[in-house]
Amino acid sequence: MRSSDFSQPQLLARGCFDSANSRLSTLGGHILDVETGKEVARLSAGEWRFIGLETALSRDGTLFAANLGKPIETADGYVFKEFAVGVWEVATHQPVFQLETARLRHLQFTPDGTRLIATDADKIHVWDLVSEKEIFRRSTPFRLRYVNSFASALALSNDGRKVATGLPDTTVLLWDLPAPVKAKATPLTPAEFEQSWADMAGADARRAFLATRRLASAPDQFIPGALKRLKPAKAPAKDEIKQLLTDLDDPSFQKRDAAAKRLSQFGPEADVVLRAVMPARPSLELERRLEKHFAARSAVMKGEDLLYVRAVRVLEEINSPDARKLLQVLADGAADAWRTRAAQAALK
């Protein structure tokens, strides 16, 4: 057990950990670093505002959802008359979807992360995130309707097929949901495969999400391609990290800047080596450079790390013997690397 000093503990009322247990998504779209307790990012909703206490995190820790409202100014302040659910990619903090809705409660992703379940005053809803369409809606008996939500609690079965809603009068309703539709194997042309792979590695979170869906529907192409392109993480050489620390403290700005750029290419897998070779009494310049390095890395995942985390999502969905074999190879990589953590979480 360890303690972290969170400056706004009230935000933890509906907090959600990511798959690596290194970040905590909280009310208002705040992303906190678990080690330091500091805010590393804040999700943006544009002209919309985060409202209510409801948040949700997909089982694999890659998607975060929260209720939004669009404020309308009045003589007495502002009111909310338009509502939506925002969905963000945790790794990049970028929006993936925004679903226009009524005011909702009890947000929850299905186990495969492709659907979102919620309740409102008198209904239960299910949205498909790929099509962004509502695919299921059922009303409750009139006698069970309440002001904000007919349900005071919601629980989803492990297979995503049944929902239990608890009511204020102690009644529990069981709902049968439509069976998840397994994506049909859809062969991609070589050009389509390469474009989907590029989108999966790209900066646009929405395009990347849709690309993972296309690739998951083409397992006979994705697995061979992934075997050629995905490799387990390797810990950086101790001598290289030691030299980079020396260069970070060099009188030459060019050397310091080059060392900082090179160090930025490493992920958490370099931390063990960094701690091992760190001078007992680092200079102020070295401390400043390293603080900047860790702050930049913790803010947003990018580059190769982002590609691997998204590819692991595809492998987890395919869930074939070959997919799990590759996940195990990635899980055996350098400790603390993003791809290692993601693969380990997918195998649990």
Q: How many CB atoms lie within 10 A of CB 139?
A: 11
Give the mean pLDDT per block of 10 residues along the chain (348 residues). 52 60 73 73 84 81 88 83 89 89 86 88 89 89 62 87 87 87 79 96 93 93 96 90 89 90 84 82 85 72 87 93 96 90 88
Architecture of domain 9-176: 7 Propeller (2.130)
Q: Label residue 179 exposed, middle or buried (CB < 10 Å: 0-12, 13-18, 19+).
A: exposed
pLDDT for the residue 9: 53
pLDDT for the residue 20: 59
pLDDT for the residue 330: 96
CA dist 40 and 26 (Å) reads 12
pLDDT for the residue 1: 47
Per-residue exposure over 330-344, b if at least 16 CB sit within 10 Å of its own CB, e if not:
bbebbebbbbbbbbb
Sheet holding 162-166, edge to edge: 153-156, 162-166, 172-176
Token pair, residue 205, equals 């979170």
pLDDT for the residue 309: 92
